[in-house]
Structure 1
Amino acid sequence: MNSASNGSQSARKSSGRPVIGICARRAPVVLQGLDLTVSLVIQPHVDLLAAAGCTPVVVPLVPGAEHLVDRLDGLLVPGGPDVDPSLYGQSAHPMTRAVGPAMDTAELALLDGAYRAGLPVLAVCRGMQLLNVHRGGTLHQHLPEVTGDDGHCPATGTHTFGRQRLEVRPGSRIAEVYDGDPPDAACHHHQAVDRLGTGLTATAWAPDGVVEAVEATDRPFVVGVQWEAGQIADERLHRALAEAARSTSPRTALAR
């Protein structure tokens, strides 16, 4: 182990702050008159994890990103573009908006590394769909053709959330996080879980039966939610990820 790695681990031991990786998204921006492409995360994920006592780090989705797993105590996979349907054996629906294989390949490798290492994982919207695909599941590519309406992703001129009252499985991790008081899910997704992946179980549903949360049955904390956690005024999921990271990381445990 090199001196930089030793220094990184020593800092974590002394601070006791779990390091949570957040998968970056690429987006075009204009900065000082220049057209640029940047790797970014939305600020609420950063703020909520920091408020929960974590050190959030942005993880760009480049080849080899999975090698950062041994420096992380947890992983947050946020929302984003559609997952490439070829990854679950389907051709693209006309409404599917994937961005190409590079992002999916890098993010799947990072998620796989975290899963194998037993890291706590919170997967949000696209993140939950990617988690399901990672475990061999499939997706409904355009939900209005399944439900008959656009309730999960309202077709308006602006970014509008669909509101879904959740039915939560008693005894699940999600039920524990929300302690019998789940939020009205603020959704903006036109895709959803079809066939569940291996080792996953559904633990929350919308009134129309669409799966809104999944959990890994063989890991202490691997949770996926379809709603836009981080864009609603509810910090409980981020706090739960932080606590899972503190509980499972030998580095942060040494600092207690």
Structure 2
Amino acid sequence: MNSVTNGPAPDRRRPVVGICARTAPVTLQGGDLVVSLALQSHVAFLAEAGCTPLLLPLAPGAEEIVGRLDGLLVPGGPDLDPALYGAPAHPATRAPDPDADRAELALVGRALEAGLPLLAICRGMQLLNVLHGGTLHQHLSDVTGHDGHRPRTADFTLGRQPLKLAPGSLIAAVLDEDEPETACHHHQAVDRLGSGLTVTGRAGDGTVEAVEVMDHPFAIGVQWESGYTPDKRLHQALAHAARRLRKETSAAFSIH
């Protein structure tokens, strides 16, 4: 007896989630090189959650890949060029790359226009704010009077700050705990909030630690170093949103 199926076959392909690349000097086989790279935990967490991670170098035209993506992760990295938000550079502002900034702004802007799920981490959240017309505190300790968000130690040390989340927010649903805290390492932070964003998380000293894009299904920015700890919840939430978008897109194509 032949089986009969109704409707199109489900799309079983893994969602593709882009990861914005960072550049860094490395020494390989005795040679000094500059490479495009991503934190391996971002790759591993997304792959474990059922996605195919795709490294996206920040070259002109990077935004043209958006139509082939189901989600986007914008990781931490160097400071943004203060000229992007009309400010002179603070002495502590380090390693801005205006060309990479412009490419990443174009990529994130196109992703948001397309409704892609977006997770923006550390620098990524700062870029999200600048994209929406916001500004940054260029050296946070000048504002808070302490270095708790980026401890001054010989080794890379994560600061731990109590985190207050907005009830009913996406980030509160993702973390789902009574007393969350950050694992952060940043010296810059949101100053004036950009248009179309809402603050959904603050540290105990008032520093903005999470924002969300209003009227978007899933676009979250977090100031802490997601990916530097074993906590996979944000990556899993991004993967879930990417799968949902792929299913919705597949269903829309099958109707037409």
Pairwise same-fold verdict (TM > 0.5): yes
Specify the code of the residue in structure 2 equivalent to 1:32. Q
Listed as ranges, the matches of 1:118-137 within 5 Å are 118-137=115-134
What is the CA deviation profile of residues 175-218 of structure 1, one whole-angstrom value per residue up to 9, with x for unaligned ones?
Answer: 11112346421100000001110110010111000010000111
Q: Which residue of 2 aligns with 1:205?
A: 202
Query: Does 2:105 correspond to 1:108?
Result: yes
Q: Could you tell me how far apart the structure 2 residues matched to 1:235 and 1:109 are?
A: 27
Amino acid corresponding to residue 80 of structure 1 in structure 2 = G
Q: Give 1:1-256 correspondences, 5 Å limit.
A: 14-181=11-178, 183-249=180-246, 250-251=248-249
Instruction: State the TM-score, normalized to the length of structure 2.
Output: 0.91
Normalising by structure 1, we get a TM-score of 0.91
In the alignment, the residues of structure 2 paired with residue 199 and residue 88 of structure 1 have an alpha-carbon distance, to the nearest angstrom, of: 16
Identity %: 64
Is contact 2:150–2:159 with CA below 8 Å preserved after alignment?
yes
- What amino acid sits opposite 1:190 in the alignment? H
Alignment partners' CA distance in 2, 1:64 and 1:183: 38
Q: Which amino acid aligns with 2:200?
A: T
Q: Secondary structure at 1:16's aligned position in 2?
A: coil
Question: Is the contact made by 1:16 and 1:251 (CA closer than 8 Å) also made in structure 2?
Answer: no
Q: How much has 1:100 moved relative to structure 2?
A: 2.4
Aligned residue identity for 1:96: T
If you compute each CA radius of gyration, which structure gives the higher value, 1 or 2?
2
Structure 1 residue 238 displacement after superposition? 0.5
Gaps of at least 5 residues in structure 2 are 1-9
Instruction: Provide the C-alpha distance between the structure 2 equivalents of 1:54 and 1:253, rounded to a whole number of angstroms.
Output: 19
* CA apart distance, 1:251: 4.5
List per-residue Cα deviations over 1:119-148 (Å, max 9, x = no partner).
000000000000000000000000000000
Question: 1:15 offset after TM fit, Å?
Answer: 3.2
